[in-house]
Amino acid sequence: MEKDKTTALKKGIAYIGALQNGHGYWEDFAVSEVGSSNQWVTGYIGYALLQQNNTSEYLKKAAAWLLANELPGGGWGYNHNTLADADSTANVVRMLANFNEVNGNRELLHRLADFLLSFQDHDTGGFVTYRPDTAQVFARSKWCKSEISVTAMSGLALLGIAGKRYREVLLHIKKFLLKRQLPEGCWDSYWWNGRMYGVSLSVNFLKQTGEDAAAKKGLAWIIGQLDSPLSPFDTALALSALEAAHDRRAGYAEIADTVLLRLLKMQRPDGSWNSGPILKVPNPYENLPPWERTGNIPTRCVEEQHRLFTTATAVGALKRRPLSPSQHPDSQG
pLDDT in tens, 261-279: 999 999 999 999 999 999 9
The CA-based angle 62-13-149, given to 5 degrees, is 65
Between these two residues, 102 and 112, which has the higher pLDDT value? 112
Helix (H) or strand (E) holding 303: strand 300-303
Residue 253 has pLDDT above 60, yes or no: yes
Single-letter amino acid code for the residue at 277 = P
**CA-CA distance, 68 to 204, in Å (whole number)?**
30
Q: Looking only at Cα atoms, what is the longest distance across the chain?
A: 63
| Over residues 305-313, mean pLDDT | 98
| Over residues 210-225, mean pLDDT | 96
The per-type count for the chain, helices as H runs and strands as E runs, is 12, 4
The one-character DSSP state at 332 is G
| pLDDT band at residue 4 using 50, 70 and 90 as cut-offs | confident
C-alpha radius of gyration, the chain, whole number? 19
**CA-CA distance, 236 to 272, in Å (whole number)?**
12
pLDDT digits (tens, 9 = 90+) for 21-34: 999 999 999 998 89
Structure confidence at residue 213 (pLDDT)? 96
Residue 215 has pLDDT above 50, yes or no: yes
Structure confidence at residue 229 (pLDDT)? 95
| pLDDT band at residue 130 using 50, 70 and 90 as cut-offs | very high
Contact 39, 66 (CB under 8 A): yes
Interacting residues of 180 by C-beta distance below 8 A, sequence separation 6+: 126, 148, 187, 188
| pLDDT band at residue 330 using 50, 70 and 90 as cut-offs | very low
| Over residues 185-206, mean pLDDT | 96
| pLDDT band at residue 321 using 50, 70 and 90 as cut-offs | low
Structure confidence at residue 113 (pLDDT)? 96
| pLDDT band at residue 104 using 50, 70 and 90 as cut-offs | confident
265-277 burial by CB neighbour count: b if 16+ within 10 A, else e? ebbeeebbbebbe
178-204 burial by CB neighbour count: b if 16+ within 10 A, else e? eebbeeebbbebbbbbbbbbbbbbbbb
The values of phi and psi at residue 239, to 5°, are -65, -40
Burial class of residue 34, CB neighbours in 10 A (0-12, 13-18, 19+)? middle
**CA-CA distance, 47 to 96, in Å (whole number)?**
8
pTM for the full predicted model:
0.92
| pLDDT band at residue 138 using 50, 70 and 90 as cut-offs | confident
Q: Tell me the percentage of the chain whose pLDDT exceeds 90.
A: 77
Structure confidence at residue 322 (pLDDT)? 46
Structure confidence at residue 331 (pLDDT)? 32
Structure confidence at residue 284 (pLDDT)? 79
**CA-CA distance, 333 to 136, in Å (whole number)?**
57
List, in order of start, the domains of the chain with CATH numbers: 2-332 (1.50.10.20)
pLDDT digits (tens, 9 = 90+) for 52-74: 888 999 999 999 999 999 999 99
Residue 256 has pLDDT above 70, yes or no: yes
Contact 154, 86 (CB under 8 A): yes
| Over residues 101-111, mean pLDDT | 91
First-to-last CA distance in the chain? Answer: 15
Average pLDDT over all residues of the chain: 90
